[in-house]
Amino acid sequence: RMEATTEVVTAAPAPVLAAFIDRYVGYRLTGFAPGLHRGMPSRHMTFIVAVGPTIDVIEQTDPRQAPANYRCVLSGLQASPAMIAHNGFQEGVAIELTPLGCRVLFGMPASELWDVTIECSQAQRILGDQLADAVQSQKDWPSRFAACDRALTLAARSEIHPGLELTWAWRALVSTGGTHPINPLADKIGWTRQHLTRKFTAEFGASPKLAARIIRFERARQMLTSTPSYISIAQIANTCGYYDQAHLNRDFAELAGISPTAWLAEEIPSVQDPDAEQARG
């Protein structure tokens, strides 16, 4: 078997897209044993253009949804993992779309895609088809990222957004790693906690409390893969705002379906953790 190699390249989107797309992540994994990859809950919607083999989701985040293959996969936020089969080769561009951009690109709140996975062209036919064709026809990363910029800029309708209060609330949770208390969040906006929870859930699909859990979990997961081994899981739990390691373990069991140590043992280099891959070389 050929030697396993991981190539990860990141790029910032065009300035007009930067308010709701954090970056592009190009990835090419070759020479790994065929297996399963766990698609984890994250503060980003899942938005990935495959190059070569399709993205083969064999267990959806909602077990009622049938397995499917995708050229350009799109899904909302989630609170459970998806299981993705691969043949040892994976290549594509992940677009780190925040739920703030769902209305801008697809004309609907992110809540409509909560726990649902679709082919992008189902949400926006022209964008989905153009993205898949344009990215797959380019041979190098800069050209692929430029193709994303062109298609997404064309599709974006900047006058449609979730509103200032919800935009601020989302960014406050993200900027604090999911540790901002919910009551003060509502107070700063001038809403009751109940009103914030209703409006936030209607827009994003998750309540502020669940969104904070997902954001905190993602930060802990990224630290687990990028922190030297002499830093303990208990120290990471403390840094990320968990009460203790048991609290982190419980969240991992619920959101990832596995313990942190078992996940680290099973996980091949992941498109979801490009910084960790670069840190490890």
Residue spans per domain, the chain: 5-155, 164-280
Residue 275 pLDDT: 54
Query: Superfamily assignment of 164-280 in CATH?
Result: Homeodomain-like (1.10.10.60)
Higher pLDDT, 3 or 93: 93
**Is residue 80 pLDDT above 50, yes or no?**
yes
**Is residue 278 pLDDT above 50, yes or no?**
no
- Tell me the C-alpha distance between 176 and 239, whole Å: 12
Residue 265 pLDDT: 84
**Is residue 76 pLDDT above 70, yes or no?**
yes
CB atoms within 10 A of CB 231: 13
Helix runs in 58-207, H state only: 102-106, 120-123, 125-137, 141-155, 164-175, 182-189, 193-204
* Per-residue pLDDT band at 158 (split at 50, 70, 90): confident
CATH code of the region 5-155:
2.60.120.10
- Tell me the C-alpha distance between 237 and 218, whole Å: 12
Residue 267 pLDDT: 74
CA atoms within 13 A on the CB side of 79: 14
Residue 272 pLDDT: 53
Residue 279 pLDDT: 34
